[in-house]
Every structure is written in structure tokens, then in C-alpha cells.
Structure 1
Amino acid sequence: MITSKTISNGILRALATILIITAVLYFLYEIQTVIVYLCISLILCLIANPLVLFLKNKLKFGNSLAAATTILFFILIITGFIFLFVPLIISQANNLSLLDTHKLQEQFISTEQSIESYFNIQHVDLNKMLKDSKVTSMLDFSYFTRFINSILGFVADMGMGMVSVFFITFFFIKDQELFKSQAREILPDSNEDKILNSITKINHLLTRYFVGLLLQLTVVFILYLIVLVIFGNKNALVIAFLCAILNVIPYIGPIIGTVLAGILTMISMIGSDFQTEILPRTIYVIIGFLIVQAIDNNVSQPIISSKSVNSHPLEIFLITLISGITFGIVGMVIAVPVFTMLKVILKEFFPENKIVSVLTERI
């Protein structure tokens, strides 16, 4: 029989549950920076696994020495990027900070008129349309200066974050076996083997995925750099690096990178003749980037996205598309790793399910 006391106890338990969940979510929100550090450290650990195994098995390094050597390797890579890119970025920031925004607006109108004249647009007065719509008055070209300055401020504040990430990564690498043995003691005996098998498979597949992704970005960066150097683009290293990083975003990233390369090419040639210099070189750069993307889409991506995580290319495309529609760009970036983790877990815990067996037959 349901009494008022039973109802009140149920309401109290429900309220307590809601409060606990709210408190946990608030706590996670407050420590989101730490969670990000842990995620980055985990990814670095997965990327470093092949190097760590080489140091341990081939060179007979101990855990601490292998971890320290790996961290030093990451630091040297980051230092190399800093010496390559920061001086160029600072010089561009100084140029932008001294830029006459009114003059830049005039150059924008001049470029628009050059395009109109070159393509012989006689029935559409783009200049009048721009003035009527007041687009140019709404364009705040000083935004670029503030944007660059904010990036520099962000980079300046990254020191503590990098130290934290490397500190966590060092112990992730050094004490992997210790963490596994502690996990065996904590996990329930009934599901211990399934959970540990899932972790081992996930670690193996994601290591292959992230190492492959890093290799893919390196190849794309080199090809982009070759294209930009061939056509004499200023700051080819920076542009190639930024466009290669955008390839982390499946399908959309390369398109954004190509548009960005075209825009930066045009900006770097402001003051030159539009018809004979700016337009031809921009078209050549865009064509070069499209060729690189064709090579990447038909060679690199199928290997990375399907073979490294043992999934069909169509399967990868659909899950990336669904994740992008649901969660935006972040969803597209994490779609493949998260989907791989789910497949491994489902196969370990529900191997007899027909749908699961079909989806995970290649794992």
C-alpha cells in the first residue's frame, strides 16, 4: 500500500538524485580544463606507443627513460614548430597592427571592381549593390588585428597547459602496466576480462588511427608546401601548416583550407595587377590544392579512416556525416575514435547480437 510517507521518500530520493547529478555535472564543468588535459595526454600516449615500444623492446630502455625520451621528442617537435612559425606570425601581426583599415577597404572595393571588369559583368553593378547594402560599412577590418592579438595572447598562456599535459603524459607512458594492474583490482570480477580486452583493443586501434592521421597530415602538409613554393607564395610554411591542420576536420576541412589558401594568396599580392598576377596565381594555387586533396581522398584517407580502425569507408562517411549534423565540427573530428570505441565495447559485451556481429565483423 502506497502511503504518504512512501511518496515523500520517493520524492526526496528523486530530488537527491537530481542534486547529485547536477553537482557532478557542475564539478565536471569546473574542471573541464583538467579533462581536456587528460584527453590530450591520452591521445599523445596513443601516438607515442610505437616509439615507446621501440625504445623498450629494441633499445632496452626502462619505463622511466622511455617515457622521458618520448616527452623530450614531443618537446623538440613543438620547439621546432615554434622557431618556424612564431616569428612569421608575429611579423604578420605587426603588419596588421600597422595596417590602415580605410586603405584596406579601398583595396577591397578596388579588387571587387577588378573582378567585375575582368569578367565583363555589365548588367550587375556590384559596387552599387555593396553601397546599397552597406556591406563595406559593416566590415570591420580591424577585427583581423584583434583576432591575431587574441591568438598571440592565447599562445602566451599555453605554457602552464603544456607543462601539465607533458607531466600527465609522462606518467601515462611510464606507469601503463601499473594502471592496468590497479584496474584489475577495481573492476568487478564478472566483467573484468571483457573490460580489459576492450581497453586493449581500443588502445591498439586508436594508436593506429592517430599515428596514421599524423602521417596523413604530414604528407598533406608537404604537398601543400610544394604547391605554394612552386607558385612563389609568401609565408608558404605557415599557410601549408594551417591548411594541413584543417584536414583534421573530415570532408569540410580541406574545402576550408583551399578557400583560405586562395584568400591568403590574394591578400599577399595586394597592389599587383589583378588580371595578370593575382587571379592566375590564385587559380593555380587552388588547382594545386584540389590535386593534393584528390590524392589525399583516394590514397591517404581510405587507409587512415578504414584500414586503421577496420571499418568500411561508407560506414566511416555515414557516421561522420551523422556526427557532423548532430554535434557540428567537433562531432566530425571525434566521430571515428568514438565510433571505434563503441564498436569494440559492443563486440565484447554483446557478441551474439546479430546487428553487433555485422557491424563488428572486421574487428
Structure 2
Amino acid sequence: MSTRKQVIWWGTAGAVLLLVLWLLGQAILPFIIGAGVAYLLDPLADRMERAGLSRTMAVVTITLGALLVFITFVLFLAPIVLRQASQLVEAAPDMINRLQEFLVARFPSILAEGGPVESSLNNLSSLIGEKGGQVLTSVLSSISGVVGVIALFVIVPVVAFYLLLDWDRMVERVDKLLPRQHAPTIRRLAAEIDNTLSGFVRGQGTVMLIQGTFYSVSLMAVGLPYAVAIGMGAAILGIIPYVGTLIGGATAIGVAMFTFWDEPLWIAVVAAIFIIGQVVEGNYLQPKIVGNHVGLHPVWLLLALSVFGSLFGFVGMMVAVPLAAALGVLVRFGTDRYVESPLYTGVDPDPELPEPVLVEMVPAGTLLTMMRETAGDDTLPVAGQARAQPAD
């Protein structure tokens, strides 16, 4: 198949896939989540198989453990986070008003009445008060409407269970269906995508879990209100370097200033918690857990989340990370091919020489001798002799 036909074929297949994702996104979301769960848990199932368990027992054990963790999160942690997030949104306008009063009392020249700073604080306070609760409610309602209770508790676990059970066989089957001409290249690109995606998702997920636990427990020990919501929010936003620490740290310090107004020591302790968290993340967690081999740049990831989220909604955000990883690997592969091509070098490649033909020189009559020995026929003439003629 020519290159032009291959580009048309694969381009059409990709367009059909995006069209199906756009038309059936809400319906196939539980299956996408189930496939993602199976992909993330497959290495654990393989490790348990190597330890001596059968594939079925390994999958059953993993599924029960995952369901237990999920139910625990829904029953205990999620209500705390949602309640504290709602309370923080409701309390934010009052905190901004108190900050405004403090600035007016201490710095009257900077915060003149009717000035731009005062107007900005007033607008921010009204915006948070009016829109903050609506945004939080709409996000929660959209997530619950998209995912659905049935999808979460029935479809996703069932899909994840069966995909995890047959994951290795599915990969083997897909490998057999690869175009033979491009199979080695596709395998290499798939391995790079898997390395990028697994390194980022599993590594970054572990980092987020460690950070969220550290921030939440530390802030709770200090006695800071909304500690769990702030800690979890900072960990989730930590998917983009420094953003989680800056936003979470600013929020925590702002809350600490109003909570520990007469105790500046505790405000400094809250600031120190986020400084320690950032230092540990940058110098230990990211290099040791995520590593430098991931190759998924934060700006590229943010662009993928924005684009796919705007095009396909919540489903697009779910598939943004794997698609960003795949596109990143394909872009690097295309860049390498471009650097090697005449379009970059300006030099036509040397024409490919035909395969050499090996010619072996043997004495005359060798073929007849070999045929005579193979057939065991004495009537065949020996090399250098004529066939005997019968007498009259």
C-alpha cells in the first residue's frame, strides 16, 4: 500500500474515532473509565501472577480491594472534602471584606475609597459569593449526572473486571492484527506511549496521594479550618508544577491569617508546611517516583485538557492524558523522521541498491551428479560421461 493510501486510511480511522467519541461520549464514559482502571491495575495483576496466583484470583483480589478503597472514600473522605469546600466558598467573601477593612485601617493611602484596589476586592468578593457556590454545585451535579450512580457502582467495576481478566489476551490479539509492514514501528511507538502514560499517571497519582495526605494531616494538626479541602485541592492542582503549591499555599495562608490573627507563629507554620511539601516534591518525589523519562510537558498536558475538555466535555478530560501522551510520542517520532528527511537536509537520499545475488561457481556436471545421488537412479549419466546406448 502506498504512503498516500495509508495516510488516507489511518486519517479516516482517526476521524471516525473522534466522531464516535463526540457522539457517544456520555454513553461510553463508564467503559472508558473501566478500561483506564484495568490499564492501571494490569501491572499489579501481572506481579501477583508471578507470585503464584492465578489470573482469576489476582483479578478478584484486586477488584475487591479497589472496591473497598472506593467505598471508603465515598463514605468517609468525599463528604468531608465537599462540605469543607462549600464552607470555604461561602466564607471567602467575608474573608475578603475583612482583608479590605484591615488594608483600609493600615494603608489608607493605598486603598483609597473608590480606587481600583477597593473596586477589585469588591468585585472579587461578589464574584466568589455569587458564582463560587454555583460553580461548585454545577461541577458536582455534572459529574454526578455524567458518571451516574449506576455507572460508578455497576458498569465500571464490571468492565474493569473483565478487561483486566483478559488484558494480556487482548494485547496479544491486537498485536496479531497490526499491519505486518509497520508492526515493528507500531510496537516501538506503543511501548513509548505506555512508558510515558504509565510513568505519568501512576507516578503522578502516587505523588498526589502523598502530597494530599501530607498537606491535609499537617494542616489538621495545626488546627486550620478546611484543612482536608485545601490539602486535596493543592494535591490535585499539583499535576501542574508549582500551581498546586502556589494556589493551595496562598489559600491556606489566607485562611490562617484570619484564623490565627494574633498568633503569627502558626501562620508561619502553615507557610512552612507548603514550603516543605514543595521541596520534598521537587527533590525527591518527582525524580524518584515520576522520573525524567516521562516526557509529558505540563504545558502540553494543560493544552490537551483545555482542548479535549472544550470539544468533548468531561469525556474529553478523561481521555486527554492518554491522548496527550500518544500525540507527544507521535510528534517526537515525526520530528525524528523529518530531521532525517531531504525536506530538512536538502539532500536527496541515495537510491536503494538491489539485494545482492549470490552466485556459486561449481565444476560442470555437478548438478547431474547431485540429482543422481538424490534419486538413486543409475541410468542418469555421471558428470563427464554420456548415457550408455543399448546394443542392437
- Tell me the TM-score normalised to structure 2 length: 0.64
After superposition, give the CA deviation of every residue in 1:31-57 in whole Å (9 maximum; x if it has no partner). Answer: 223565455444423321332122212
Q: Look up the match of 1:160.
A: 150
Unaligned segments of structure 2, at least 5 residues: 1-10, 310-316, 342-392
What letter matches 1:80 in structure 2?
Answer: T
CA distance in 2, matches of 1:134, 1:216: 36
Q: How many residue pairs end up in the alignment? A: 316
Q: Is the aligned partner of 1:85 residue 2:71? A: no
CA distance in 1, matches of 2:36, 2:17: 25
CA distance in 2, matches of 1:258, 1:180: 44
Corresponding residue SS for 2:190:
helix
Per mean C-alpha deviation after superposition, the further-off stretch among 332-341 and 296-305 is 332-341
Deviation at 1:91, TM superposition (A): 4.4
Q: Look up the match of 2:250.
A: 259
Alpha carbons of structure 1 residues 50 and 129: separation in structure 2 relative to 1, 3 Å? same
The 5-angstrom pairing of residues 116-265 of structure 1 reads: 116-117=104-105, 120-129=106-115, 133=119, 136=122, 139-140=126-127, 141-154=129-142, 156-157=144-145, 158=147, 159-162=149-152, 163-265=154-256
CA distance in 1, matches of 2:51, 2:24: 39
CA contact (8 A) 1:228 1:236 kept: yes
RMSD, aligned α-carbons: 4.3
CA distance in 1, matches of 2:219, 2:340: 52
CA distance in 1, matches of 2:88, 2:288: 41
CA distance in 1, matches of 2:265, 2:109: 25
Q: Look up the match of 1:6.
A: none
CA distance in 1, matches of 2:279, 2:29: 33
What letter matches 1:301 in structure 2?
Answer: Q
Alpha carbons of structure 1 residues 89 and 209: separation in structure 2 relative to 1, 3 Å? closer
CA contact (8 A) 2:30 2:155 kept: yes
2:62 to 43, 56, 70: 70
Q: Is the aligned partner of 1:32 residue 2:32? A: no
Alpha carbons of structure 1 residues 161 and 263: separation in structure 2 relative to 1, 3 Å? farther
Q: Look up the match of 2:44.
A: 51
Alpha carbons of structure 1 residues 216 and 90: separation in structure 2 relative to 1, 3 Å? closer
What letter matches 1:225 in structure 2?
Answer: S
CA contact (8 A) 1:247 1:254 kept: yes
Q: Is the aligned partner of 1:60 residue 2:53? A: yes
Identity of aligned residues (%): 18
CA distance in 1, matches of 2:54, 2:12: 49
CA contact (8 A) 1:93 1:149 kept: no
CA distance in 2, matches of 1:259, 1:328: 24
Alpha carbons of structure 1 residues 51 and 130: separation in structure 2 relative to 1, 3 Å? same
Corresponding residue SS for 2:183:
helix
After superposition, give the CA deviation of every residue in 1:325-353 in whole Å (9 maximum; x if it has no partner). Answer: 78759799849734664378669x96994
CA contact (8 A) 2:211 2:277 kept: yes
Q: Which has the larger radius of gyration?
A: 2
Deviation at 1:280, TM superposition (A): 5.6
Deviation at 1:296, TM superposition (A): 0.6
Alpha carbons of structure 1 residues 39 and 266: separation in structure 2 relative to 1, 3 Å? farther
Corresponding residue SS for 1:53:
helix
After superposition, give the CA deviation of every residue in 1:184-230 in whole Å (9 maximum; x if it has no partner). Answer: 44222222233234334533553343222222112212321343134
Q: Is the aligned partner of 1:337 residue 2:347? A: no
After superposition, give the CA deviation of every residue in 1:292-351 in whole Å (9 maximum; x if it has no partner). Answer: 112211222233444453x5xxxx6xx43466478759799849734664378669x969
Alpha carbons of structure 1 residues 291 and 116: separation in structure 2 relative to 1, 3 Å? farther
CA distance in 2, matches of 1:115, 1:179: 64
Alpha carbons of structure 1 residues 68 and 251: separation in structure 2 relative to 1, 3 Å? same
CA contact (8 A) 1:229 1:236 kept: yes
What letter matches 1:29 in structure 2?
Answer: W
